[in-house]
A and B are shown apart, each in its own frame.
Chain A
Amino acid sequence: MTARSLFEKVWDAHVVAPESDDRPAILYVDLHLVHEVTSPQAFDMLRDKGLKVRRPDLCLATLDHSIPTVPVMSLKDLEIVSEPAAARQLMKMEENCAEFGIELHGLASDRRGIVHVIGPEQGATQPGKTIVCGDSHTSTHGAFGALAFGIGTTEVGHALATQCLLQRRPRTLAINLEGTLGPGVTAKDIILRIIGAIGVGGGTGHAIEYRGSAIAGLSMEERMTVCNMSIEAGARAGMIAPDDTTWEYLAGRPLAPRGQDWDRALAHWRTLPSDAGAQYDKSVDIDVSQLAPMVTFGTNPGMVIPIDDAVPEQDDPAFRKALAYMQIEAGKPLSGQPVNVVFIGSCTNGRLSDIRQAASLLEGRRVPDNVRLLVVPGSERVKRDAEAERLHEIVLAAGGEWREAGCSMCIAMNGDRVTRGQLAVSTSNRNFEGRQGSGARTILASPLTAAAAAVTGVVTDPRTLLS
């Protein structure tokens, strides 16, 4: 039998009808993650056509994008604290899930959180599954060896109605990462380095497989950070071969298989890693042993440099436009640049290990009065776990805000935003113009680099603060 890659194995196992020149493949979806922003028009379509949700049992639904991160325990609270359109959208989600028989991890649920945090946390995300969501950061789930990708709302409707999508098979891109990370350098720095190397369109049309010793050495949460930003390199999916780290993470999670089902699943999962000799359409090699903490300086995640480098000079209109928007000068390093806001959270870096890392630098230090620090756990469970370790006390003692779970300041459609002209260091995934609020300026960085900026008030290499 021909050697197959991880991607090919998962793809092949989900083809209901193969593709031809005039037909895309019909691909079966094992898990459909649903949230309030990209689903209402899909539910309306079902209603218009008199269709049901084919497999409500394969949907995992939550509220994350437009939900406020101040405490909201009921719909009545919501009306008070939320912007009216956001409140209506959240209530619509409650109604839609009730009408179509989908279990919703809603307002008062202790399992609520960012869809890409709760899927893995609940054990719904598993190796070998096909996973879709009306959200481009669905690539996160590829960290488990799943084929996971973002879709639009029309396709959300297709998946709800038929549990299938019409898809053309993407090409494959192997990114081989070797070397050991130095102190203060994290998974976020790896993925920012990759995007800088291949560009924001470098993965277009491809599913990425991240491979090599530097990936095998990462925890599941770190692997999720890497896969999460695959879309920022243009790739809809980013995958990592499942291994012992994966099984250890999944064992005992509420939706993970148990007993004999676990043994059967594990035997299958072990067959998923790419065969020796598997072919990829493209491949890229990156050595991470000399990697420094990375920071973005422009208005897309590909405009990124090691923190001790100067902002490059480039004679190109898009480049000049980006620097003008950012009010950043070419030829100078970002270190020392005063910041107004630090955001720690999001589906990229809102997990327990991220908050632990940030807390390790915040502990015993104080955020200057002119800097706002917002720490937003990725899920209610992350929040509880962090509080059990008293990490929230470290955040509060440093002068930061400690919030309820949600997408918060990553997308700025829930009341949390950076105000016009302010500069934020953010652990989120997009530094697009206005992403964190109209006129907001964003530097993307790791939780360590963000915490270093919070306690010094300026962009700072976190390695200078490590004890």
Chain B
Amino acid sequence: MEAIARITSRTVVLPIEDIDTDQIIPARFLTTTSKQGLGERLFADWRYDADGRQRADFVLNRPQSEGAAILVGGNNFGCGSSREHAPWALVDYGFRAVISTEIADIFRSNSLKNGLIPVIVDAATHQWLVENPGAELTIDLESRSLMLPDGRSVAFPIDGFSRYCLMNGLDELGFLLENASAIREFELRAS
């Protein structure tokens, strides 16, 4: 995985609460056995109409959303199914971070393993982001902070180990494999 230290990008704002992973990537696209190419299906039922044409009123279809790597969602983003296809689709589309006031547990865990930074902010900061779509932000993992265009800096929580893995491009599996002897001892003790 690629190491990430900071992301600077404009935002796309989707201020709907409880966006579930069935919206992020509908189940009918989960018959794939690959991680690739899911960006095309991202938010498929909101992005395209029944005939597969782009819906002009959906935010991702607006020209100003082009190239934005930060998605601002409503509270409880990523709830529902555990499908890792959701962060795969977001990353394949070009997103590198999701910001909300709350991010669902499994989605957050999956995001951290795919270089998609989950950023949880307070309600006031969130409201500012919703009211200022397209704002250019910097998300800095080193300082665990979000920099707004007016120079304000907002701290966000991120698990120390996940942050270390993201910043060094490490897969968590390596750490588990290094602990093989402790796992073996546990198995002997438990049997």
Contact = CB atoms under 8 A, between A and B. Distances in A.
Partners in one complex: yes
Interface stretch (B3-11, B60-68, B77-85, B142-150): B77-85
A66 interface: yes
Interface in B107-123: 109-110, 113-114
Contacts of A26: 176, 179, 182-183
Contact of B114 (A49, A135, A154, A430): A154
Interface stretch (A108-116, A179-187, A243-251, A431-439): A431-439
Given A22-B161, A49-B173, A152-B109, 4 more contacts: A26-B182, A136-B80, A413-B28, A439-B50
B18 A38 contact: no
Given A164-B176, A433-B23, A153 B84 contact: yes
Interface string B1-44: 00000000000000111101011001110111111000000000
A65 interface: yes
A253 interface: no
Contact of A162 (B27, B30, B74, B180): B180
A24 B172 CA distance: 11
Contacts of B105: 170, 204-205, 234, 236
B151 interface: no
B160 A152 contact: no
**Which 8 interchain pairs have the tightest Cβ spacing?**
A152-B110, A152-B84, A85-B31, A40-B33, A201-B76, A150-B82, A136-B82, A154-B113
B79 A200 contact: yes
A331 B105 CA distance: 34
Interface in B68-99: 74-76, 79-84, 87
B30 A23 contact: no
Contacts of B81: 135-136, 430
B45 to A, nearest CB: 5
Interface residues of B, number: 52
A38 B183 contact: no
B159 interface: yes
28 contacts: A16-B183, A16-B186, A21-B160, A23-B161, A26-B183, A41-B84, A65-B30, A85-B32, A89-B33, A136-B106, A151-B106, A151-B109, A152-B84, A154-B110, A154-B172, A162-B173, A162-B176, A162-B177, A163-B183, A201-B102, A204-B105, A205-B105, A234-B79, A234-B104, A234-B105, A236-B106, A300-B20, A434-B26
Given A22-B161, A201-B75, A161 B173 contact: yes
B164 interface: yes
A157 interface: yes
A44 B114 CA distance: 16
B106 A411 contact: no
Contacts of B190: 28
Chain A, interface size category, equals 35 or more
B33 A92 contact: yes
Point out which of A92, A152, A302 has the most chain B C-beta atoms below 10 A from its C-beta: A152
Contacts of A45: 173
Interface of B: 15-18, 20, 22-23, 26-28, 30-35, 45, 50, 74-76, 79-84, 87, 102, 104-106, 109-110, 113-114, 159-161, 164, 172-173, 175-177, 179-180, 182-183, 186-187, 190
A302 B105 CA distance: 17
Nearest to A410: B27
A438 B173 contact: no
B110 to A, nearest CB: 4
A359 B186 CA distance: 48
Contact of B22 (A22, A54, A153, A433): A433
A3 interface: no
A311 to B, nearest CB: 18
Interface in A419-439: 420, 430, 432-435, 438-439
A411 B27 contact: yes
